[in-house]
Structure 1
Amino acid sequence: MHSSSNLYRVACRISRERERENYKMERNVKEEKCVRVVCRKIITCKDPGIQWLIGSPFFPSFTIVSSFRCLHTQSHDPFSPDYTKESDDLRTLLLRGFIVIGALFVSNGNWEENAIKAAETSRTMRKFLFDDGGDVEMIGAAADLVSGDTHFFFCGPVKSQNLEAVSTVIYEDNPERFVWDIGCLLRCALTIKLPICIPMKRTSDAEEILSSAIDDVAAKFKDPRAAYVIEELNVTSDPDEVPQFVVLRSTDLDFEKNLSDFKLLRSVDESYADTKSCSYFCLKNTPSITLKGNADAIQVTILLNQSRNIPKSSAPIAEYFPASEPARLLVISFNLEVLCYASKDLPVASAVSKLIVPGLVDQLTTMKKAIMPSLLTQHHQLRPYHFFPPGILHPITAIYELSYGEMEIKQAEIRRSLHLRLGLPLDRPLLLIANSINFGVTKGIAGNNSMRNGPALLKDVHTEIPSIGVSGGMISLIEGSYEYYHYLQDGFDDSGWGCAYRSLQTIISWFRLQHYTSIEVPSHREIQQALVEIGDKEPYFVGSREWIGAIELSFVLDKLLGVSCKIINVRSGAELPEKCRELALHFETQGTPVMIGGGVLAYTLLGVDYSEASGDCAFLILDPHYTGNDDLKKIVNGGWCGWKKAVDSKGKNFFLHNKFYNLLLPQRPNMV
């Protein structure tokens, strides 16, 4: 008789087999006779070149989920890839669980000839990436340079043989559901501090020493003392709920199987019949990634038993091993974070051995290559980030050198290259760190709860405030969200001198919430320190209670965010209504908050209501001089955020006629 657990496993296996059969019947087409295009649009361009077609071993054969442009070519020949550089880039960019299944040649000429070349090119790339490209059928595709018409062909494993035109191309109606109904994400983050000793007289041995140390680290992933904790990354808010988890020992995993044999991943691995599948750890009825870039993933944590088994207890001791020759000690930090895509049917043991561990080794190797040229001269801060840019159905990974700084030209060049490869627009910062995927909090045995620093601030306090009415006027407002910063916030007493600082904080919060930057909103002291560092202020300025104005705000925005500003000067508050046309254009084209400074007062401007016919206007003012608690009703009813006429119904001027005013108009970055 079967035990209850065996019956459960048999039932699950039968259920999965039925689901797969139903999946095929619904589409009523044989996998080997069609190409399925899941991505909304294959990247096409007006220039000749190669595009790699991306699929997954978890999808039906010849399913194209995305396409990446080939950027590295030999001798400027767009059809001759530099396979070493291209494979390094693709190995970093592609999550384990996605593979190259073909190539597309964008060119004029014979369809079949171009398709054969494309298939052979992709087969060679597979050999560089996975060493399995010699005996697999690939997609060879050719697109006309003028019309953009695309023809698909199957190309057999032997060069120039078995070329078959594709008669059926299926375009998925719901690509997101296709990808995430089949699969899920696994994530493993690991920080390694690797000490190495470089002999002073043999610095040329540095590469060999580092490579050997990294090989030792990679070997520990398979060490019998290693264990892997697999658990839900996100669970409900119920503190009493216990997350699903399982612990796998390294000895339970089969690392000997060919890691490049993706056929092993296409079906349930019987050797792991007793192991939970990935679906056991997936949140029910919840998409893996939301449109806001938050992600649910199965968390994999590596533990290593460092204790030795000794018959008797003893006190710990320290051993001293003197260096045989003068040497330099380097401690290199590796912040690894691997994201993988796996079928929900795949046993988690197979996912760890075939996806997570190879992914960690790949990332270590990539970082080693990056730091090796300047190992002895530069302190590196490499960090992987995962992004889910619009138009791409799966996350991608980029490794950034944080010592550059996000706005430094080298980092911008890296992002521009990624935009070109992925077909992303070149005027939006989609791959800044602020746009990276935000993973939830692990509440299981291997993770810690995270706490938000300080209370949440009010956002977008103006949204429910109607205009006071400008006859024939047109309202122009900021675009996007901001946080309201004002006097006495966070327990800091800046009453009487900090209004411009608060306006600047509101402006920077807008850039953060629009994902133009990942820096924290700076404190008053940090703002002052920035002005000292650029030479605008003397050192005594830090910690003072001195005012700043529009010019200083522009300096800080340039230094911290790389944001340029336009400044409008008016000699009197009476002239401000004359600038409403220009302000309306700013909100319509730039959409950023504006700082208005005059005399000893500073305000944040969120919009204007302007009649071009009459010149009548109203200003939507966010007042940083408010000193109360963050009570939205109190703020709105008290007029701390509201529409102001230049001259109210009682004849009182809002803007003083005997003061000059500077208006700071931050420009939306046109950048990658």
Structure 2
Amino acid sequence: MADDNSNTKTIRILTRKLHSITKSDSTIQWLIGSPFLPNYTIVSTLRCIHTLQSDHLSPDINKEADDIRALLSRGFEVIGALIVGTASSSVEQAAKDAIDASSRLRKALSQSENQSLVGAVVDPSSGELSFFVSNSVIESVTTVVYEEQPNKYVWERGCILTCELPIKLPVIYSVKELKGAEDMLTRATEAVIAKFRDSKTTYVLETPDGSTAEAPHAVVIRNRDFDLSTESNASSLLCSHFCSEDNNHKSYSAENADKIQVSFLLATSGATLKPAAPVAEYIPAVGEAKLLVVDYKLRVVCYATKDIRLTDAVSKLIIPGLVDQLHTMKNMTLPNLLSQRPKLHPYHFNPPGLPHPITTIYDTLYGETEMKQVEVRRSLHSRLGLPSDQPLLRIASAMNLSISKDGASGNTLKKGTPLLKDVHVGIPSSGVNGGDLSLVQGSYEYYHYLQDGFDDSGWGCAYRSLQTIVSWFKIQQYTSIGVPSHREIQQALVEIGDKDPSFIGSREWIGAIELSFVLDKLLGVSCKVINVRSGDELPEKCRELMMHFETQGTPIMIGGGVLAYTLLGVDYNDTTGDCAFLILDPHYTGGEDLKKIVNGGWCGWKKAIDSKGKRFFLPNKFYNFLLPQRPNMV
């Protein structure tokens, strides 16, 4: 842990989730920090979800340690705990209990026992937070700083090390002694772990392909380089050797951080003085035996400060990270080793509000919708304090830490011309005085006429509105399917029996009802429909539309007896009745030019009746508003 040379101790808080702890929440929260950040820096919190049966307020340290060991990247660690105080004990005693619990957890995680820890207490009557630290005695800390830019604070100081390592573990066992298979897997696991520090092991560190224009040469670290008494070129190099010095206009996040790729190499044959013939040893089995191969692919992510030596980054972060993940995967495999063996894959996530990545190991044997996997994600949402109705930890949301040849993160590349996102951000105000503003939540892509070289001018506006809506569900990770083409939309309507086969390839219009059918078939999304007999009735629907944006947050398709549009928000003054509608117009036929789109009014506020008496919604036309419902899922 970084030294605190000041006599005045300061609690530095990077997470806003401490504010969400209420006096009615009796669950302990583990405080997470980093040895590479100043003392008493709280980066995040993890909720304790395993407690003893005899006392639901006491953590089950062993189960908590197993979970956190798998979840938390090396470079981050438990630095304390937060609990809600009780009327029967003093705040100081509650802080002591919190510090004692975190100390026991650190011991189970094999973390340093000499660390000065933080005890945070929520006052049961006022809800106020108090902080204490453990030195020789428990001391109160009154200086608390809330960091304005937590991601920048973490990532301008640090970088990411990644290592992927495929492993095949042979397990030979007697069919009469099945217990031997478990012992064999354990021994095979320990044999692999021994190789991580084997004298023949070499680690190659380099920047991922194309991450910098002039990438430094790879650095080779051998086992002997871990010995501080041995001088080598590798032992003097720091992580900053691979880090960019240009931080201008840099977006600070785990995915945009400087990255160092670590490769594991093992020389299985050494130099010999003279040729030798290969030798095979035959050991007959006592009875019938079988061979199974347990196939793993380790994927480890670690956080390191840029001024740490590369040798220390490998020996103190990468190797322990590989050991932890291999043990976790072995323990997940053992219960079903000889039956329906799990298909394990590690994934890294950086959900909202968390300045650092976390790792989860999913069993992908049955897919994401299998109830066991749903419960795993629900448990993770609870531990991380994430919403229980948003799919933030699905595989589609996983970080892509690979780097493409042109230097962009793998998950940011798109085929063809990139589509504009969130074109409504920053547009002029609606002109409604004293109105209440309700807008679409999250991100979407703007689909309009003539994109992708496809001529749908005059008939494809509803298709384009549907594509914008599907893009919202995709970006928010409610689905992993691609945005459907016009033909795929038509195919879906034919398959459900709404249209005849001749509809495919036609230029027939579709409306709100057809869109609801397609969303249900392709995404499993249900919709509500608001029918409006005349444009003059639109102000009467403002409250209902506002409630939709506040509770569901999805884009709305406007159809009916006129052209189709996408509704992104409502501004409404319920006293005066003045209102405006934020319209995204799919009839635009130009290129992806944001300035041209905004200045041309293709995305902008439309008044029911503007200052010149012009109506956007016509009194002699009917309208259907399609309100897609946000799925309640994790």
Which of the five TM-score ranges fits, normalised by the shorter chain? 0.7 to 0.9
Partner residue in 1 for 2:55: 77
- 2:345 matched to 1:382? yes
Change (3 A) 1:571 1:381: farther
Code of the aligned partner of 1:453: K
Query: 1:68 Cα deviation (Å)?
Result: 2.8
Matches within 5 A, 1:368-447: 368-375=330-337, 376-377=339-340, 380=343, 382-387=345-350, 389-390=352-353, 392-402=354-364, 410-424=372-386, 426=388, 431=393, 436-437=398-399, 439=401, 441=403
Cα displacement (A) at 1:201: 6.7
* Alpha-carbon distance in structure 2 between the residues aligned to 1:101 and 1:464: 41
Q: Match of 2:134?
A: 154
**What is the CA-CA distance between 1:419 and the residue it aligns to?**
3.9
Using the TM superposition, give the Cα deviation of residue 192 of structure 1 relative to its aligned residue in structure 2, in angstroms.
4.7
Q: Which stretch of the first structure deviates more once superposed, 103-112 or 82-91?
A: 103-112
Q: Indicate which of 17, 20, 26 corresponds to 1:48.
A: 26
Q: Secondary structure at the match of 1:399?
A: strand
1:100 and 2:78 correspond: yes
Of residues 156, 166, 186, the one that matches 2:161 is: 186
- Secondary structure of the residue aligned to 1:365 is helix
**Structure 1 residue aligned with 2:321:** 359
Gaps of 5+ in 2: 276-281
Aligned residue among 586, 599, 603 for 2:565: 603
2:528, 2:133 → 1: CA distance? Answer: 54
Q: 1:169 to 1:561 in 2, by over 3 A?
A: farther
Q: Deviations over 1:395-419 (max 9, x none)?
A: 3333344566666655554444334
Is the aligned partner of 1:91 residue 2:69? yes
Range 241-250 or range 166-175, more displaced: 166-175
**2:222 counterpart of 1:242:** no
Q: CA RMSD in A?
A: 5.3
Match of 2:467 among 483, 505, 530: 505
Q: For residue 521 of structure 1, what is the aligned residue in structure 2?
A: 483
Tell which deviates more after alignment, 357-366 or 207-216.
Answer: 207-216
Per-residue CA distance 1:260-297 (angstroms, 9 max, x = gap): xxxxxxxx999998430123323326399945663313
- The 8 Å contact of residues 35 and 64 in structure 1, kept in 2 or not, is answered as no
Query: In the aligned structure 1, how far is the partner of 2:121 from the partner of 2:604?
Result: 59
| Cα gap change, 1:411 to 1:490, in 2 (>3 Å) | farther
Q: Deviation of residue 244 (structure 1)?
A: 5.4
Q: CA deviation at 1:357?
A: 1.4
Matched, 1:544 2:544: no
Amino acid at match of 2:237: K
Residue 70 (structure 1) shift = 1.9
Q: Within 5 Å, which residues of 2 pair with 1:598-637?
A: 598=560, 602-607=564-569, 621-624=583-586, 630=592
1:666 Cα deviation after fit: 1.9
Partner of 1:10: none
The amino acid across from 1:189 in the alignment is E
TM-score (norm. length: structure 2): 0.75
Q: 1:39 to 1:480 in 2, by over 3 A?
A: closer
Contact 1:644 1:654 in 2 (8 A): no
2:225 is the counterpart of 1:252 = yes
Aligned mate of 1:122, from 99, 102, 105: 102
Structure 1's 210 and 663: CA in aligned 2 closer, same or farther, altered over 3 A?
farther
In the alignment, the residues of structure 1 paired with residue 528 and residue 39 of structure 2 have an alpha-carbon distance, to the nearest angstrom, of: 55
Q: Pick the aligned partner of 1:294 from 249, 252, 255.
A: 255
User: Secondary structure, in 3 states, of the residue corresponding to 1:482?
Assistant: coil
Amino acid at match of 2:321: G
1:353: Cα distance to partner? 1.2
Contact 1:293 1:388 in 2 (8 A): no
Preserved CA contact (<8 Å) 1:504 1:595? yes
Q: Which runs of 5+ in 1 are unaligned?
A: 1-19, 156-161, 258-267, 314-319
1:61-80 deviations in Å (ceiling 9; x for gaps): 56554443322011151343
Counterparts of 1:558 and 1:429 in 2: how far apart (Å)? 18
How many residue pairs match? The answer is 615
Distance 1:471 1:428 in 2: 34
In 1, Cα distance between the equivalents of 2:619 and 2:566?
16
Equivalent position SS for 2:349: strand
Letter paired with 1:129: L
Deviations 1:173-203 (A, max 9, x none): 6484665565443222345566767777766
Shift of 1:439: 3.9
1:452 is aligned, of 396, 401, 414, to: 414
Partners of 1:352 and 1:285 in 2: CA distance: 25
1:508 offset after TM fit, Å? 2.0
Q: Indicate the residue corresponding to 1:9 in structure 2.
A: none
- 2:628 aligned with 1:666: yes
Contact 1:234 1:441 in 2 (8 A): yes
1:29 paired to 2:7 = yes
Give the residue type in structure 1 aligned to 2:295.
I
